[in-house]
Structures are given as structure tokens and as C-alpha cells.
Amino acid sequence: MNNKKIFIKLLFILLIPITALLFHIASFYPQFIEKIYANRIYKEMIQILSSITGILPFSIAELLVLFLIFFVVWMLLQTIITAIHHPLKRKSTILNFIGNIIILASMIYFIFIFIWGFNYCRLPFSEIANLKVKPASVEELENLCKNLIEKANTLRPKVIENKNGVMTLPKGYSDVFIRASKGYEKAANIYPELGGNYGNPKGIILSSAMSYTGIAGIYCPFTGEANVNIAITATSIPSTTCHEMAHQRGFSREDEANYIAYLTCTMHPDVDFQYSGTVLALIHSMNALYRVNEEKYMKLKELYKEGLVRDLAYMRSFWQQYEGPVERASTKLNNAYLKANHQKDGVRSYGRMVDLLIAENRLKIWK
């Protein structure tokens, strides 16, 4: 390999530390990222991109992932074959393969940060929504859970059931994808940052395989597509769709995307979205209560009406069938993140989504 090729490869590899440094610097300027990057550069770029990719009914992102997997496997096989047949070139062949993998990773990382990753450095949604997030007492969390249970119980009789008494979507997931933007249109009247014209969400063809990872949806910034695992329960599909649409609008943090999903679902004119968003918030809030006071959790759980109980049981049984090493690893990472947000004094932070829900609930109490 000549010096010119080595130099070019080193430049590509250097993209990793350079991009990481730029990302670190950006974290100190959330106002600038919010105003210039999130609401101008990113928003305009992704609306154009998602409108183009949205012309096709299938997920381009899914095809890209499959292509990337096959490409890497092909490179690996080529390396193995060359190393076997040319022992003298074995070391250089393996080093060349490792170098190419690093270059590929650095290019993906560079593009990822510049077309979406900087959104992690934007203002917290609490500031955008003017919600005063602060540590809350267990009583405040309990009060939030009570309100969500009451709301879920009220909405549940209005949704359509299947023969097993579980919520269903009579027109299927495709109809959900078409209607999902209605909640965002309503929310954008209050929070313009949630507005814009984007391509419709898309279902993943290999959703059953995706379920083994414990992932309900994924946003692909390289294509601007909000992708949804269509194998998940009907109760979860509307809120998951709105969650991925939050990412599409530049809200990178998972917990904030959950809150935005709840917000846009509850603002949606259709009851299936309202119920799905409420159940999403209820699950997160009750899980938080369980971690700090199991007795209060068990007492409130008795307030669930039959329809809600059936839906939650079905959701639980759905994910149980996919439990395994991959799912457990994902769960451990998520639990570690939640624990890192907890405070050890008399009041606690319950994770960004629940903190936002409590902040919203405080406003409702005082009104």
C-alpha cells in the first residue's frame, strides 16, 4: 500500500476523534444548536430527505441495514479466503480488513452526528415546553399515577376490542401511520418545534426478528424514516409511531421522545391514539412508583379496570416470548440509565419522561 493511500485512510480514521470533539464542543452551546441546527439546518434537511424517501411504501432504512450486514460479512469472508490462500499476506490482509471496518465506522459516525446527532445537544424539551422539572416526592408520583389510571380506565371502553377482549386496530397499522400526524399538527400550535412536513412512518418487514432485540421502533436519520415494529401489540403501535416521529423532528433523547409521544397522542382527535399515549405514560409512571414504593404500586394497580388489565397482560406476554440474551442486555442498559438519574435523598428524579409528566401534572393541579 502506497503512502498516499495510507494517508487517506488515516484522515478517514481521524474523523472519529474530530467528530467527537465537535460534538463535545456543541454540548456547551445548546441555544445555538437549538436555534441554528435543530430548527433550521436539521429541520429543512430532514423534511426534504423524508419527503423523498417517503415516496416509497417500504423502509429504505431496513434495506440499508441488511445491505450493511451483507457487505461486512462479504468483506470478512474475502479476508478469510485471502488469508488462507496467501499466508505471506495474512497479516497485511487482516490489518487492511480492520482498517476498512474502522474507516466505515468513522464515516457512519461522522454522517450520523452531522445529520442528527447534534440534536442531543439541543435545549431540553422541558425548556421548550416551559415545564419546570425538579425532584418530586413519592406523593406527587402517586398522584400522577392515579390520574393516568383514571384517564386510561375512561378511554379504554371507547377503543375496539378483538375476540379475546384486547385492543385492536380494525384498519391495521397502515391506517395508524396515515393518521399519526394529526396529533403533531395539534401540538405544533403550542410547540412549533414539533411542526413540519415529513414522510409517513413505515413498518419494518422483519418485525418479528426485530422483536428479539426488545426494540419497538427505530428512527433512521440516514433516510429520515420513522420505522415501527409492526409485530408489537395494537395498544403500543400509535404511541410507538409518535415516539419515532419525535426523533424524526429532531428530539434525540429517548425519554423526551416518550413524553412527546404521550403529548401528541393525547392531543390526537382519535381515541386509539389517546389511549395508547396514556398507557405509555402509565407504564413508565407505575414502573417508577414500583421502584420506590412497591406497596403503593400494588394498591394503585387494583384500580385497573378489566380492559386495561387485559391489554397490559397481552403486552407483557408479547415481549416475554422474545426474551433472551439480546433483550436482557438492552434492559440492563436501560435500567442502569434510569438508576443514574435517581437521587438518594428524600425526593427523587424518576427519569426525564416521568419528571416531565409530573411537571405537567403540577400545572394541571394549580390551574
Q: How many Å is the maximal CA-CA distance in the chain?
A: 78
Mean pLDDT of the chain: 90
Secondary structure class of 342 (helix, strand, coil): coil
Domain co-membership, 228 together with 174: yes
Backbone φ and ψ of 17, nearest 5°: -65, -35
Q: Which grid coordinates are listed for 282?
A: 402509565
Domain co-membership, 29 together with 83: yes
Higher-confidence residue of 253 and 347: namely: 253
State if pTM tops 0.85: yes
Domain co-membership, 109 together with 155: no
Q: Give residue-wise pLDDT tens across range 185-200.
A: 999 999 999 999 999 9
Report the pLDDT value the prediction gives residue 10, as an integer from 0 to 100: 83
In the chain, beta strands by DSSP E: 202-203, 217-220, 225-228
Domain co-membership, 216 together with 117: no
Q: Which amino acid is at 101?
A: I
CA 32 vs. chain centroid, Å, equals 24
Higher-confidence residue of 353 and 89: namely: 353
Share of the chain above pLDDT 90, in %: 77
Minimal CA–CA distance to 294: which of 142, 75, 122?
Answer: 142
Q: Give residue-wise pLDDT tens across range 33-89.
A: 999 999 999 999 999 999 999 999 999 999 999 999 999 999 999 999 988 888 888
Domain co-membership, 208 together with 278: yes
Domain co-membership, 52 together with 187: no
Report the pLDDT value the prediction gives residue 244, as an integer from 0 to 100: 97
What is the DSSP secondary-structure string of 102-125?
HHHHHHHHHHHHHHTGGGGGS--H
Q: Is it the case that residue 364 has pLDDT exceeding 80?
A: no
Which residue segment(s) compose the domain that 25 sits in? 3-121
Q: Give residue-wise pLDDT tens across range 104-113.
A: 999 999 999 9
The kind and range of the H/E element at 92 are helix 90-115
Report the pLDDT value the prediction gives residue 328, as an integer from 0 to 100: 61
Backbone φ and ψ of 226, nearest 5°: -90, 110
Residue 153 neighbours by CB under 8 Å, 6+ apart: 303, 304, 305, 308
Higher-confidence residue of 29 and 14: namely: 29
Do 217 and 261 form a contact (C-beta atoms < 8 A)?
Answer: no
**CA gap 90, 2 in Å, rounded:** 18
Find residue 348's DSSP bridge partners.
136
Domain boundary residue among 71, 97, 121? Answer: 121
Domain co-membership, 161 together with 193: yes
Q: How many CB atoms are located within 10 Å of the residue 240 CB?
A: 27
Q: Average pLDDT for residues 8-16, to the nearest whole number? A: 85
Backbone φ and ψ of 203, nearest 5°: -90, 145
Question: 298, exposed or middle or buried, with CB in 10 Å at 0-12, 13-18, 19+?
Answer: exposed
Backbone φ and ψ of 219, nearest 5°: -100, 135
**CA gap 123, 138 in Å, rounded:** 27
Domain boundary residue among 121, 136, 170? Answer: 121
Higher-confidence residue of 335 and 362: namely: 362
Question: 295, exposed or middle or buried, with CB in 10 Å at 0-12, 13-18, 19+?
Answer: exposed
Domain co-membership, 31 together with 152: no
Domain co-membership, 132 together with 232: yes
Domain co-membership, 108 together with 165: no
Report the pLDDT value the prediction gives residue 197, as an integer from 0 to 100: 95
Pairing of strands 225-228, 217-220: antiparallel
Q: How many domains does the chain have?
A: 2
Report the pLDDT value the prediction gives residue 349, as an integer from 0 to 100: 41
Domain boundary residue among 97, 121, 145? Answer: 121
Instruction: Say what the alpha-carbon torsion angle 42, 44, 50, 53 is, to the nearest 10 degrees.
Output: -110
Q: Is it the case that residue 338 has pLDDT exceeding 80?
A: no
Q: Which amino acid is at 232?
A: I
Report the pLDDT value the prediction gives residue 365, as an integer from 0 to 100: 56
Q: Give residue-wise pLDDT tens across range 99-154.
A: 889 999 999 999 999 999 999 999 999 999 999 888 889 999 999 999 999 999 99
Q: Give residue-wise pLDDT tens across range 243-291.
A: 999 999 999 998 999 999 999 999 999 999 999 999 999 999 999 999 9
pLDDT band, very low/low/confident/very high, at 332 (cuts 50, 70, 90): low
Domain co-membership, 113 together with 132: no
Report the pLDDT value the prediction gives residue 110, as an integer from 0 to 100: 94
Domain co-membership, 42 together with 151: no
Report the pLDDT value the prediction gives residue 350, as an integer from 0 to 100: 53
